[in-house]
Structure 1
């Protein structure tokens, strides 16, 4: 039986040969990855794999192996290929993510500068304070060290930077994970130097916080297993504000469709609707329920080719390929040979969105940003293509050339006990596209001054637009 977690004190430490077998599983599994050569050549992949094997086998700890494997996965330049903290074993989670090593701040990166959103240390740093150094290391230098571990599609570096912000909206923040392994606090805590919004310089020691303390201040609800709404609907100056921090509905029992339908039906007396997707990576195609009410006829969108790299997954690998749908193992059996090692499933299923009533007759705007990289990337793309939703904010995550997803194998490595997510369907654009995300109709970025003054300029601009039509 394959080992599913790192060895305990009562088990033998895996041998170098067993760790090499982990990498052989990585190598063979990536032959099934539809986007592995989207942004790199076979020669470059071979070089990355050779380096991975050398460093993974030579690593002296689970922490080092996790970092080595995570950095390798980032070289694929796929926003859905990662060592996913949500899919690791309990022992890996406890060992790597539940450490009291977290910086007691919430912050964003503004033009490469670390800017405080909230101080959880009790010291009283104001929003808009810039962190200059952490234990003597310049904050921009720390960002440079962290970005190579971030997952994003192609050259969409804004998505990589956004992952290393700490907004406290996820159970495990990407920054917390990698900062805790790369730059943990000293016994006295973190020594920070900073500049306040009024220009004063300061410094001090800040004690690291635990995972429990971090979660106590989390801004979003846990979606797994909840029956409670995790979206909000508010009226501001006659404009409806729909905030949707996640579309991940797979393990939720909340009936979001009737909740959303009831609120959209109430819009007749409103000036307009603003949908806030800025913290939303994606999940289910919940945005289709909005598009379906924006037109009196079915909506047609140019589809992406859906390609896979295998007829059936190799049976000798199946023990390591976990998934929720057994049909994924034979997803290419009835596909058309597209040449070049690909099999075509067809266009993505949401090319056509059937119209439903009641229609939304008020203007609709959406706030987007680099986090929008899966279903929310698709929503932003359709908004630009249709012109039915005006986009405000910053360019999305994802990539117009196509992203990988729709189905996954959770690859579990027996010797190390580590897991990585591997998408099995690649969406490829029918016509040449730029190597970037969706650029909003109205490009607005937040400034340090906005943060200090607690101004939400993209939201204000969107509200003003819908209110004046």
Structure 2
């Protein structure tokens, strides 16, 4: 939802930061000061600190954390401990954002060696989807059993400690975060595995090679040693072997599967990167559909975490044949009216108004200790009306656990308006509400690490459960279909249409 703002902020602000030598470990006193800054920020500013943890649980966590950082630890261990702390809050928008770290942090904390495989986690197994190694024996559908002697079960269990999600709904989302997919290997992007596997298991940091045990789809275990890849090598090999990675405009794809069924893939809502007008592009798609004989439309948002909310609403206006947007009126709640002077030096943002004190007379304090604007309507919503070329056939929305921000809301509205059938896996996100809207970027004074801090709890007038959006038909990916090059969920829909 806010990636364009984050990247813009990174380009404008972080290039001017005077970095210190993050290669040297901090003193115990410096670490303790930083953790106290984080504690004060979470307790006084973050709207989700006490939503899934009691004040006692939060204080106990910080107490134990301070004990850990008082010991002789290195900077990598400190990075991990802070990452585990942000995960404990159970907020999908609170984390050490790799896109907001200084260049020196990236150089010093992130390994420059990468495994030569892309994979998907299925049934707690690493199932290869793309082989980028020099050994062409291994195919999509084969299973990685261990990496440098570390069993995959242990890797998954460990990395889940730093895998972010919203609330208690997000087991599938946490697992999904561990995947390495094509968009992750674009040289300007990051994956959780790439960052944290070498930090938790240091012998893999900048390693020249990896020892794998791989179980082929035919159940043959093979031990092999493969050279590691750099970011550029990994991307170049992928492009050479598998073709271009869809980005920007090309991340949206429209085609007719046959005369009666069309397919629209929306890879993300990062439309600020487009050179073309996405609204004109959408309109051309639905004019084409209107003039066709298509009776079915498959809209695929799997892997799309979110992006621009306006793009989401624009898409829905071509799918929903009635006014929408007020199915579940929302509230915008703050934890604070003003920021203490002690924290201001460490907080950056793209809008200076976020730092200014709010007029107390404009807000009321709620029973659950939040601040809400007095004139905020209890039906705070804006109706959106369908487009002239709204699709009037049967619609299938393909979803999975990646859908945790703007696409979570899209899935929710689609379901609430009874627009069509949802196919796939339960989304990430939570009906209890997501933190976002406005952000502070907390810059720690000694380590120079950054943590994203959302400022608004975007929740609902009528309380809703801590659950994601459940599909009408749950269809999970499986190893056999990956081996055979079959899209499990798409195949399910096409079979359903034929029947």
For normalisation by structure 1, the TM-score amounts to 0.91
Q: Which of residues 161, 167, 170 is equivalent to 2:181?
A: 167
Give the direction of change, closer, same or farther, for the CA distance of 1:222–1:237 in structure 2 (3 Å limit). closer
- Does residue 1:394 correspond to 2:394, yes or no? no
TM-aligned CA deviation for residue 204 of structure 1: 0.7
**CA–CA distance in 2 between the matches of 1:57 and 1:222?**
45
TM-aligned CA deviation for residue 181 of structure 1: 1.5
TM-aligned CA deviation for residue 54 of structure 1: 3.3
Q: Is the 8 A contact 1:59 1:65 kept in 2?
A: no
Report what 2:166 is aligned to.
Answer: 153
Report what 2:256 is aligned to.
Answer: 235
TM-aligned CA deviation for residue 464 of structure 1: 4.4
1:132 is paired with a residue whose SS is strand
Size of the aligned set, in residue pairs, is: 461
Deviates more, 1:415-424 or 1:312-321: 312-321
**CA–CA distance in 2 between the matches of 1:353 and 1:451?**
39
TM-aligned CA deviation for residue 133 of structure 1: 1.7
- Does residue 1:421 correspond to 2:452, yes or no? yes
TM-aligned CA deviation for residue 394 of structure 1: 0.5
**CA–CA distance in 2 between the matches of 1:153 and 1:34?**
13
**CA–CA distance in 1 between the matches of 2:357 and 2:428?**
27
Report what 2:297 is aligned to.
Answer: 273
- Does residue 1:338 correspond to 2:352, yes or no? no
Give the direction of change, closer, same or farther, for the CA distance of 1:259–1:136 in structure 2 (3 Å limit). same
- Does residue 1:436 correspond to 2:467, yes or no? yes
Give the direction of change, closer, same or farther, for the CA distance of 1:240–1:306 in structure 2 (3 Å limit). same
TM-aligned CA deviation for residue 111 of structure 1: 0.9
Report what 2:345 is aligned to.
Answer: 319
- The one-character-per-residue Cα deviations of 1:21-70 (angstroms, maximum 9, x if unpaired) are 21122112112111111100011111122233333454643322211111
**CA–CA distance in 1 between the matches of 2:232 and 2:195?**
14
Deviates more, 1:340-349 or 1:434-443: 340-349
Q: Which of the two has greater helix per residue?
A: 2
TM-aligned CA deviation for residue 463 of structure 1: 3.7
Q: Is the 8 A contact 2:28 2:69 kept in 1?
A: no
**CA–CA distance in 2 between the matches of 1:357 and 1:59?**
66
Deviates more, 1:261-270 or 1:56-65: 56-65
Q: Is the 8 A contact 2:165 2:429 kept in 1?
A: yes
TM-aligned CA deviation for residue 177 of structure 1: 0.9
TM-aligned CA deviation for residue 249 of structure 1: 3.5
Give the direction of change, closer, same or farther, for the CA distance of 1:256–1:318 in structure 2 (3 Å limit). farther
Q: Is the 8 A contact 2:323 2:385 kept in 1?
A: yes
Q: Is the 8 A contact 1:6 1:416 kept in 2?
A: no
Report what 1:64 is aligned to.
Answer: 77
2:33 is paired with a residue whose SS is helix
Report what 1:308 is aligned to.
Answer: 334
TM-aligned CA deviation for residue 288 of structure 1: 1.2
1:287 is paired with a residue whose SS is helix
Q: Which of residues 177, 180, 192 is equivalent to 2:195?
A: 177
- The one-character-per-residue Cα deviations of 1:336-390 (angstroms, maximum 9, x if unpaired) are 3223331124469655323332222222211111110000000111111111132
Report what 1:130 is aligned to.
Answer: 143
Report what 1:246 is aligned to.
Answer: 268
- The one-character-per-residue Cα deviations of 1:174-193 (angstroms, maximum 9, x if unpaired) are 11111122235385622111
Q: Is the 8 A contact 1:411 1:420 kept in 2?
A: yes
**CA–CA distance in 1 between the matches of 2:24 and 2:483?**
54
Q: Which of residues 216, 229, 249 is equivalent to 1:209?
A: 229
**Where does structure 2 lack aligned partners over 5 or more consecutive residues?**
1-13
Give the direction of change, closer, same or farther, for the CA distance of 1:252–1:85 in structure 2 (3 Å limit). farther
1:127 is paired with a residue whose SS is coil
Report what 1:261 is aligned to.
Answer: 283
**CA–CA distance in 1 between the matches of 2:300 and 2:26?**
48
Report what 1:20 is aligned to.
Answer: 32
Deviates more, 1:367-376 or 1:22-31: 22-31
Question: What pairs up with 1:290-301 in 2 under 5 angstroms?
Answer: 290-299=315-324, 300-301=326-327
Give the direction of change, closer, same or farther, for the CA distance of 1:75–1:213 in structure 2 (3 Å limit). same
2:430 is paired with a residue whose SS is coil
**CA–CA distance in 2 between the matches of 1:210 and 1:54?**
37
Deviates more, 1:396-405 or 1:348-357: 348-357
**Where does structure 1 lack aligned partners over 5 or more consecutive residues?**
none
Runs of 4+ in 1 over 6 A off after TM superposition: none
